[in-house]
Amino acid sequence: MKEFPLIPRSTSLQKTFSFVHNPIPVMYDYINEYGDSFYLYIGGVKKCLVTSNPNIIRHIMQKNHKNYEKSELQTKMLAQYIGKGLLTSEGDYWFRQRRLIQPGFHKNRIKNLVTLIQDVVDTHLEDLEVHRGKTIDVYPKMLEIAFKVIGNALFSSAASDDELETIESAIFRVQQFIIKRVRQPFMQPLYWIRGDMKKYKNLAQEIEEVILGIIRSRKKLNKQPDDLLGMLINTRYEDTGEPMSEEQLLWESNILFVAGHETSANALSWMLYLLAKHKDAAVRLKNEIDSELGDQALSFEVLMKMPYLNAVIMEAMRMYPPAWISDRVSKKEDQIDGHVIPANTMVLALLYHSHHRDEDWQNPLEFNPDRFLKTKNPNAYFPFGAGPRMCIGNNFAMLEMQIFLVQFIKKFNLDLATETDGTYEALITLKPKNGITLQLS
């Protein structure tokens, strides 16, 4: 049996500062020296197996997923702030919830959300009119759009703009705090002493109160609107015939907000950045939209007839995967490619690095949507994860991105402003570090 190489604790300690601030290049330093899989002491403390090898990632997430669970960072720690829902639960509880909620995210259900999503997108694009002929950082706008899309898809118009804003800003601040806790575990005592733990718990409670208010008033209705909350309220467990409790409704709604907001906003922003940089792709996309859509109203069916639109989205998520990393912990000892993975090993899956491997991609640094017209399911591609814990909102997110791009490209031409260079910041998600400033015309 072979051993994966171990990066000396002294080396990882030396790099702690740059790792906290910009982990992707630090991981490349290690990959260049030690290969695609190695053991690393995160923050000099926790020994983890880090891998960008797509076969190992598929093994832990899909092929032998039964032997792996999410780490406590993803479950217990996040659950303290956003509750125990799909993203943050494990085992039988997770499985029961996933079975219950999955049908609500089926393509046939999601199809009905086209008009709702388009309304949000169109209203926000109308607001952009005042910026025509000028430059604007589109990133804050994309966050707004993605938040409103998931907010409306969840609650229709039951949530006021003020309520959505309260939730959005609280989620943002809680996430920032969670990142600090993960990246600098040695600072933990200070967070307790300074009262940060309590402060952010209170903030999380603020979100809960707003969402609970909405759930309680919605439960009084005789007929639920056709939105995600309506689906969560109406659905029944197969074995007991019972609905979810109020607490479960709260947790699952909370989690859909958290999981479905920043990821989508980042994807939308990176797409605009790439299309502004690659005019030929923007023109080709516009031609596809003109010829397939013409003057018709947007529908799920017509979107399915636009392969280049789909390829642009897939390629943007390859180059800038919003979820750039994930993790699992082995339950029992396991083996892969002649290597032992001991029980209780935390495995960090570098999805970003896997999407840029020379071994799997031709010219990985090049934006080339055509590669997704040729190959539909590349092995080293995990924008929505893999296996049973794959993103439940993937169809929803694809629809949102498709609708947004069609409506945007119909309305605006885009050019890159000089200050936009595509620098990223890898926090929980991969976001544009200095925004995405574009010239709209």
Binding site for ligand HEM (CB under 6 A): 86-87, 98, 150, 255-256, 259-260, 263-264, 267, 322-323, 326, 383-385, 389, 391-393, 396-397
Q: How far is the CB of 328 from ligand HEM (least distance, A)?
A: 7
Which DSSP symbol is given to 360? T
Separation between Cα atoms, residue 34 and residue 37, nearest integer Å: 7
Q: In this structure, what token pair is assigned to residue 270? A: 């990176």
Question: Which DSSP string do the residues of 315-364 spell out, in sequence order?
Answer: HHHHHS-SS-EEEEEESS-EEETTEEE-TT-EEEEEHHHHTT-TTTSSST
Nearer residue to ligand HEM within complex by CB, 151 or 435: 151
Closest residue by Cα to residue 270 from 318, 325, 316: 316
Amino acid identity at 267: A
Closest distance between ligand HEM and the C-beta of residue 145, in Å? 12
- Shortest CB 294 distance to ligand HEM, Å: 28
Contact 218, 229 (CB under 8 A): yes
Residue (27 or 323) nearer to ligand HEM, CB:
323
State residue 422 phi and psi, 5-degree precision.
Answer: 80, 15
* Closest residue to bound ligand HEM by CB: 393
CB of 150 to ligand HEM, least distance (A): 6
Least separation in angstroms between residue 95's CB and ligand HEM is 9
Question: Does residue 97 contact residue 251 with C-beta atoms inside 8 Å?
Answer: no
CB of 36 to ligand HEM, least distance (A): 19
CB of 200 to ligand HEM, least distance (A): 21
The distance of Cα 136 from the centroid of its chain, to the nearest Å, equals 24
Residue type, position 176, single letter: Q
326 three-state secondary structure: strand
Q: Using alpha carbons only, how large is the chain's radius of gyration in Å? A: 22
Give 98 or 173: the residue with its C-beta nearer to ligand HEM: 98
Q: How far is the CB of 202 from ligand HEM (least distance, A)?
A: 25
Helix (H, G, I), strand (E, B) or coil at 77: helix
Which residues, 6+ apart, have CB-to-CB distance to 377 below 8 Å?
none
**Buried (b) or exposed (e) across 175-213, using 16+ Cβ within 10 A?**
bebbebbbbbeeeeeebeeeebeeebeebbeebbebbbe
Structure tokens at 385: 């994860």
17 alpha-carbon distance from chain centroid: 25
**Cβ-based nearer residue to ligand HEM, 26 or 265:** 265
CB of 2 to ligand HEM, least distance (A): 26
Tokens describing residue 118: 């388009």
- When the beta carbons of 7 and 60 are compared against ligand HEM, the nearer one is 60
Shortest spacing between CB 352 and ligand HEM, in angstroms: 11
Please give the backbone phi and psi of residue 200, each rounded to the nearest 5 degrees, phi first.
Answer: -75, -25
In whole angstroms, the minimum distance from the beta carbon of 288 to ligand HEM comes to 21
Where does 159-299 have alpha helices with state H?
161-183, 188-194, 196-219, 228-234, 246-277, 279-293
Query: How far is 168 from 148, CA to CA, in rounded Å?
Result: 10
Contacting residues for 91 by C-beta, under 8 A, at least 6 apart: 69
Helix ranges restricted to H, 355-435:
371-374, 394-411
